[in-house]
Structure 1
Amino acid sequence: MAQFHCRWRNVLICVCSPCICLALLFIYATIMVCIRMGSTASSWAAEKNHFVASGTFTNNSFAPLPKTFWEFHLHGDAFWNNLQQVTDRHFNPILHPNDHKRGLGKSTSDESPLRQSFSAVINLDSTKRNFEKLPQQIQEFVSHMQKRDYPTITQPDGVCGAGAKDEKEPPLLLLAIKTTELNFKNRQAIRQTWGQVGWVAGQKTNSSRGEEGGGYVRRVFLLGKENTEELGVDLSDLVQLESKRYGDIIQWDFKDTFYNLTLKDVLFWSWFSRSCGRTRFVFKGDDDVFVNTPKMITYLQEQLKKPKAYKTMKDFMVGDVIGAAMPNRVNKSKYFVPDSFYKGFYPTYAGGGGVVYSGQLTKRLHNMSKKVHLFPIDDVYVGMCMIRLKVHPVHHPAFLTFDFPGKEEQELCSYHRILLVHKRSPHQVVKLWDHMNKTQTQCWDVPLKTVGESKNKPKTL
């Protein structure tokens, strides 16, 4: 009987031991996988880095979105798409789950993958064959699109632009205005009107006490260099004198062209991140816009008072939002981008005529720009950086980058109902500011335009 029990015990041990070992091995493997996934997911979430692979589709909330991570040639010979695909794969946390150095860091070494991908794509035989077919202005853009280390010729006297020397609180708003050496009249009109610095009073509606609240405003103009040979005159000395007089100019040593407006964004973000640590908001716009600064001040103060504003401010951007736009294929347009350079929809973006975003978002855009190749349309490029941050601009109908609809401009208080309108000459800006001051009492309680009133036609580039 003892031999019988011993025999069965040996049988059970022989049969069950492998099963127990397999079960223990499965439990161990499951625990290790969970730990690895948790580590990868937590580091990815902490970095707020959003991978966007090439190949896009659209739905009601995103444009564009990743279609696949793995296919290499969805866009054929589209130069920019191929460049960005190489870079996106480099920073893809799925392909490189253990390489935490690829995350969204602040080191300038993050720019090396951009240069590496550029070298890899530009040397492909297919790229060399198609490069000469690109329009001349695109070829010129490509020839220097990997360069971002342009020296600063002059910069503002103040730490973060021109402003009051006796500020009693952090600046609420920095006005960052894209301009050129030639546009002195535009800058003067802005300085005398909506771009005044120091303490600026807000304007609340439905109030019998007049102006309430306000904030400190700073100002900086963003310039490149004119081509002296094409212009026939060197304006450098005049710009230097202007800079000494007003202390509100930052100028970099690159050719000031339409396609280089993106450089102004990238270099401005870098300068802001170093010099404007306490500034709450940035208005970035062209030098031919008119801004209702008092209403802008009040609007921004209202945003800061909203619940959990301390959390939402890191994503805050507001303007005239354009969604699901296609590249302009008309070769005579200044917005022309051939399909040999870029294919696909543009991401959602705010029109570059005038947009407002938080200081926190400005710094995040600076970091993300190290992972996105320059694009010849500046506001589209901002959208490309935004989509990778998983952030979307908020549309506000008071940003009229395509002017007033119909005959609305003729109404007495029309300019009191907006935050911005595009395409105004220096003479018009001065007249409009005077008109705003004269009609202030009559139009005090007029609210800003609301979404339901927006009658603008569909916007395209």
Structure 2
Amino acid sequence: MHGLMARRYYCLRKVIVCVCTPCILLVLLFFYITIVVCLSMNNNATPGIVGKSSSHFIASGTYRNKSFSPFPKTFWELHWQGDAYWNRLQLAIDRNFNPILRPNNNVKRRFQNSKFHESLLWKSFSEVSDLDSKSGEFQKLPQQMQDFVSHMQRRDYPILNQPDGVCGAGAKGEKEPPLLLLAIKSTEFNFKSRQAIRQTWGQVGWIAGGKRNNSEGKESGGYVRRVFLIGKEDPQELGVDTTELLKLESKHYGDILQWDFKDTFFNLTLKDVLFWSWFTQFCNQIQFVFKGDDDVFVNSLNMIAFLQDQLDMPQAHKTLQDFMVGDVIGAALPSRVNKSKYFIPDSFYKGLYPMYAGGGGVLYSGLLVKRLHSISKRVHMFPIDDVYVGMCMYRLNAHPVHHPAFLTFDFPAKEEEAVCSYHRILLVHKRSPVQVVRLWADVKQTQRQCWDVPLRDGNKKKKKTLSATSQ
């Protein structure tokens, strides 16, 4: 009896071993694969739009150099999904800086070679355009997008009007390097807006700031210069030619910078690129730039004091290389509404936008302008100007800083009604020429009454996740 039970037990054990062993091995194998995958994801993962990472777009985890930018999964992925035109153009350039695909090339030297970058731009167009001409994709784009694509590779437009030998209009007897250049995007016909700015917040020369954040109570100030960035209108379309009037305006005020390209909404990006080039050549001493539209109101007194505070920061000379402050928008989606002026079809671009500062007005350092000029030669132009600046910032591994005193979407409800509301801001959008003149008079009249009012909380972390349609 005992022998029979022993034999049955022995047989049962063999059956259990034969059946369970493969299952146990499969479980162990699955567990092992899970651990390997998790470790791989942790090593290669990049943060969202707000963060930084050690993995770089040229070859994640293989080439570590702080001069290169990380690529968040929401933007500039190594493996593009779909066949969006801009994405393919940019990928054609990025491949040339991948040490795996180009193992025998000096990546750092190529990163700094300006002529090499320009040749890559043209080469990428020929590669991608040949494919599109065969598929007929170009003809499917909206007309304004076709117009943009047809000349988006060109960046060498002649200058029609420019300040006479200086970096914008300013004081002749400047006793120190200018603190700020006001670079304001305008059009030929917006004379009223330019004149309102000249008479109010856009005045040049020595401008005294406030005593804000100054423990010694000393008045801060700095020299300011001004330039208006303008393209060319088509006189046949509008029935009037303002060429001679603009020449007279340029001669009288010395603050017109005009290029010979068609002034359209999508060409606002071209104004940035050409301005960066001009600035690099003529504005070596400028410490900061305010780039904005001609329909904003700026409290330039606050801006001067704010910039002086930045210069007083510890190790300011290091932080100024990446200095950009404005109304920052993160994780914005391209507008797919075809009636919107911000409309970007998915056949042209796919993915989220990078973090960027709203184009109504933004502050950045003169050092950063020169870096943007250099990196822009490696980034294909994009129809939305502030988004394009964000793209270039990512390539520099730099990020704009949000400040609540930039109100590019106007005041929150009822906040504007407070007596000192305009003393708490750096910028508000959008205001007509008449409103700008009136607001400036009010700010000057209430200056003593609102002397100690602080800026809107600049330490409060405020993130925006907006669709580009709300701009």
- Cα deviation, residue 207, structure 1: 7.0
Structure 2 unaligned regions, length at least 5: 1-60
- Cα deviation, residue 158, structure 1: 4.3
- Could you tell me which of 156, 172, 176 is aligned with 1:149? 156
The answer to whether structure 1 residue 57 and structure 2 residue 77 are counterparts is: no
Task: Mark the CA change 1:370 to 1:404 in structure 2 (over 3 Å): closer, same or farther.
Answer: same
* Structure 1 residue aligned with 2:365: 358
CA distance in structure 1 between the aligned counterparts of 2:325 and 2:349, rounded to whole angstroms: 26
CA distance in structure 2 between the aligned counterparts of 1:306 and 1:443, rounded to whole angstroms: 25
CA distance in structure 2 between the aligned counterparts of 1:90 and 1:458, rounded to whole angstroms: 33
Query: What code does the residue aligned with 1:92 have?
Result: N
- Cα deviation, residue 124, structure 1: 0.4
- Cα deviation, residue 94, structure 1: 4.2
Task: Mark the CA change 1:411 to 1:327 in structure 2 (over 3 Å): closer, same or farther.
Answer: same
CA distance in structure 2 between the aligned counterparts of 1:395 and 1:422, rounded to whole angstroms: 16
CA distance in structure 2 between the aligned counterparts of 1:125 and 1:162, rounded to whole angstroms: 46
* Structure 2 residue aligned with 1:439: 446
The CA deviation string for residues 223-264 of structure 1, in whole angstroms up to 9 with x for no partner, is 000011111111110100000000001100000000000000
- Could you tell me which of 130, 139, 145 is aligned with 1:138? 145
- Cα deviation, residue 75, structure 1: 2.9
Query: What code does the residue aligned with 1:57 have?
Result: K
The CA deviation string for residues 32-71 of structure 1, in whole angstroms up to 9 with x for no partner, is xxxxxxxxx999737x23375xxx624xxxxx3x543xx4
Task: Mark the CA change 1:42 to 1:356 in structure 2 (over 3 Å): closer, same or farther.
Answer: farther
Q: Structure 2 length as normaliser, TM-score?
A: 0.82
Three-state SS of the structure 2 residue aligned to 1:177 is strand
Query: What code does the residue aligned with 2:403 have?
Result: H
The answer to whether structure 1 residue 306 and structure 2 residue 325 are counterparts is: no
* Structure 1 residue aligned with 2:83: 77
- Could you tell me which of 227, 232, 238 is aligned with 2:234? 227
Three-state SS of the structure 2 residue aligned to 1:103 is helix
Task: Mark the CA change 1:193 to 1:93 in structure 2 (over 3 Å): closer, same or farther.
Answer: farther
- Could you tell me which of 72, 78, 98 is aligned with 1:92? 98
Aligned length, in residue pairs: 407
* Structure 1 residue aligned with 2:341: 334
**More displaced stretch, 153-162 vs 410-419:** 153-162
Three-state SS of the structure 1 residue aligned to 2:382 is coil
- Cα deviation, residue 453, structure 1: 7.0
CA distance in structure 2 between the aligned counterparts of 1:389 and 1:206, rounded to whole angstroms: 31
Task: Mark the CA change 1:208 to 1:120 in structure 2 (over 3 Å): closer, same or farther.
Answer: closer
- Cα deviation, residue 459, structure 1: 3.5
Three-state SS of the structure 1 residue aligned to 2:111 is coil
The CA deviation string for residues 403-455 of structure 1, in whole angstroms up to 9 with x for no partner, is 00000001000000000001100000000000000000100000000157799
The answer to whether structure 1 residue 166 and structure 2 residue 173 are counterparts is: yes
- Cα deviation, residue 394, structure 1: 0.2
CA distance in structure 2 between the aligned counterparts of 1:42 and 1:271, rounded to whole angstroms: 37
* Structure 2 residue aligned with 1:15: none
Identity %: 67
CA distance in structure 2 between the aligned counterparts of 1:359 and 1:223, rounded to whole angstroms: 20
* Structure 2 residue aligned with 1:218: 225
> Is contact 1:158–1:247 with CA below 8 Å preserved after alignment?
no
CA distance in structure 2 between the aligned counterparts of 1:50 and 1:219, rounded to whole angstroms: 32
Three-state SS of the structure 2 residue aligned to 1:123 is helix
CA distance in structure 2 between the aligned counterparts of 1:121 and 1:42, rounded to whole angstroms: 28
* Structure 2 residue aligned with 1:18: none
> Is contact 1:152–1:250 with CA below 8 Å preserved after alignment?
yes
CA distance in structure 1 between the aligned counterparts of 2:197 and 2:114, rounded to whole angstroms: 36
* Structure 2 residue aligned with 1:381: 388
> Is contact 1:156–1:247 with CA below 8 Å preserved after alignment?
yes
- Could you tell me which of 272, 286, 289 is aligned with 2:293? 286
The answer to whether structure 1 residue 111 and structure 2 residue 118 are counterparts is: yes
* Structure 1 residue aligned with 2:433: 426
Task: Mark the CA change 1:107 to 1:454 in structure 2 (over 3 Å): closer, same or farther.
Answer: closer
* Structure 2 residue aligned with 1:28: none
Structure 1 unaligned regions, length at least 5: 1-40, 59-63
- Cα deviation, residue 131, structure 1: 1.1
The CA deviation string for residues 70-123 of structure 1, in whole angstroms up to 9 with x for no partner, is x4xx33220000000001111234433542375332634421100110111011
Query: What code does the residue aligned with 2:68 have?
Result: N
CA distance in structure 2 between the aligned counterparts of 1:309 and 1:452, rounded to whole angstroms: 18
Task: Mark the CA change 1:158 to 1:420 in structure 2 (over 3 Å): closer, same or farther.
Answer: farther
CA distance in structure 2 between the aligned counterparts of 1:282 and 1:106, rounded to whole angstroms: 26
Three-state SS of the structure 2 residue aligned to 1:338 is coil
Query: What code does the residue aligned with 2:69 have?
Result: H
CA distance in structure 2 between the aligned counterparts of 1:265 and 1:295, rounded to whole angstroms: 25
> Is contact 2:330–2:465 with CA below 8 Å preserved after alignment?
no
- Could you tell me which of 374, 391, 399 is aligned with 2:406? 399
The CA deviation string for residues 368-424 of structure 1, in whole angstroms up to 9 with x for no partner, is 000000100000000000011100000000000000000000100000000000110
Query: What code does the residue aligned with 2:352 have?
Result: F
> Is contact 2:356–2:390 with CA below 8 Å preserved after alignment?
yes
**More displaced stretch, 107-116 vs 83-92:** 107-116
> Is contact 2:328–2:463 with CA below 8 Å preserved after alignment?
no
CA distance in structure 1 between the aligned counterparts of 2:136 and 2:440, rounded to whole angstroms: 54
Query: What code does the residue aligned with 2:65 have?
Result: A
Cα RMSD (Å) of the superposition? 2.3
Query: What code does the residue aligned with 2:73 have?
Result: F
- Cα deviation, residue 154, structure 1: 1.1
CA distance in structure 1 between the aligned counterparts of 2:122 and 2:363, rounded to whole angstroms: 30
- Cα deviation, residue 159, structure 1: 1.7
Query: What code does the residue aligned with 1:138 have?
Result: M
**More displaced stretch, 181-190 vs 125-134:** 125-134
**More displaced stretch, 108-117 vs 166-175:** 108-117
Three-state SS of the structure 1 residue aligned to 2:89 is helix
Task: Mark the CA change 1:395 to 1:241 in structure 2 (over 3 Å): closer, same or farther.
Answer: same
**More displaced stretch, 122-131 vs 349-358:** 122-131
Q: Structure 1 length as normaliser, TM-score?
A: 0.84
* Structure 2 residue aligned with 1:260: 267
CA distance in structure 1 between the aligned counterparts of 2:64 and 2:377, rounded to whole angstroms: 17
